[in-house]
Amino acid sequence: MEESAHAKVNLFLRVLRRREDGFHEIETLIAPITLHDSLAIEPADRLEFHCEEPGLAGADNLVVRAARAFFAKTKREPKVRLTLRKKIPHGAGLGGGSSDAAATLRGLNRFFEAELSNKTLCSLAAELGSDVPFFLNETVATCSGRGEIVMPASLPASLNLLLLKPEFGVPSVRAYSRWQATRELASTMYESQKFADITWVNDLERPVFEKFIFLAQMKSWLRVQPEVGAALMSGSGSAIFAVLRSNVDGDLIAQRAKSELDAELWWCVCETIVSPQYSG
């Protein structure tokens, strides 16, 4: 059985305050996108996990942790082989690890016909990470709290995107830890943008761009391209995405970016997923 694990972009992200539990209170509008990892699920004599990327193949991978949580909840024997094929880059702010975990919970629930409710799956997901509950349903949603409170939302239409990412990633812990110190910094770089009936803004850009100046340069470069309606960092980075205007060839902009910014840039042209079925 094959389960897709879609990436996401944050269309806006507001950090409201630091909570007593150490997390940050946020409000964000998230959309799943067509870029995705794939998780193959097969019967086996024990729990096996395989991934083509050696650094992600350990027992602490979120896929393994999600599988263990599922088997502990259902009291089933952990006899399954999980093979993860990665396309979502690591450390990009695109939610790859969280999406993989959610795909594991979804897929195992179907594979073993366990019939765990969405509420139960959400509870397991929240224990794995703040973003994981969003990915269970893979529909546009507003997320609040530390990200685990998910309310379905909608977009008027699918958006065409160009994702760009340098070779380095950004630790989300650092981005949030520096938020308080940098939130008063004034710059037109961080002003909200209006495009496609959405206000695009990300409060984590300040603390991230302060350290990783090249990301600020990427965003500035994208914003002045005539084919781009808005540009924003997704989550805590390091991916910057451009919202493309109608009838634009994103591949050409990507090649221009590699020529003018960094020849080693990773890039992907994709779309937001507007209306998959929400299971409630």
pLDDT band at 22 (very low <50, low <70, confident <90, very high): low
Q: Can you give the three-state secondary structure of 117-146, one letter per residue? A: CHHHHHHHHHHHCCCHHHHHHCCCEEEEEC
- For the chain, what is the mean pLDDT? 91
Nearest-angstrom CA–CA distance, 274 and 153? 9
Q: How many CB atoms lie within 10 A of CB 230?
A: 22
Residue-wise pLDDT tens digits, 205-249? 999 998 899 999 999 999 999 999 999 999 999 999 999 999 999
Residue-wise pLDDT tens digits, 101-134? 999 999 999 999 999 999 999 999 999 998 999 9
110 compared with 58, residue with greater pLDDT: 110
Active-site annotation holds for 8: yes
Q: Which residues make Cβ contacts (< 8 Å) with residue 135, sequence separation at least 6?
A: 5, 6, 8, 32, 95, 98, 99, 101, 102, 103, 125
Chain centre distance of CA 134: 10
Reduced DSSP (H G I as helix, E B as strand, rest coil) percent helix, strand, coil of the chain, to 5? 30, 30, 35
Active-site annotation holds for 258: no
* Candidates 37, 100, 131, 203; catalytic one: 131
Residues recorded for the chain: 280
DSSP structural state of residue 166: -
Tokens linked to 272: 């937001």
Taking 60 as the threshold, does the pLDDT of residue 185 lie above it? no
Name which of 42-46, 116-120, 183-187 the model is least confident about.
183-187
* Candidates 8, 100, 165, 219; catalytic one: 8
Which domains can be identified in the chain, with CATH numbers? 2-152 (3.30.230.10), 160-271 (3.30.70.890)
Strand partners, 194: 199
Residue-wise pLDDT tens digits, 152-180? 998 888 999 999 999 999 987 776 676 66
Taking 90 as the threshold, does the pLDDT of residue 57 lie above it? no
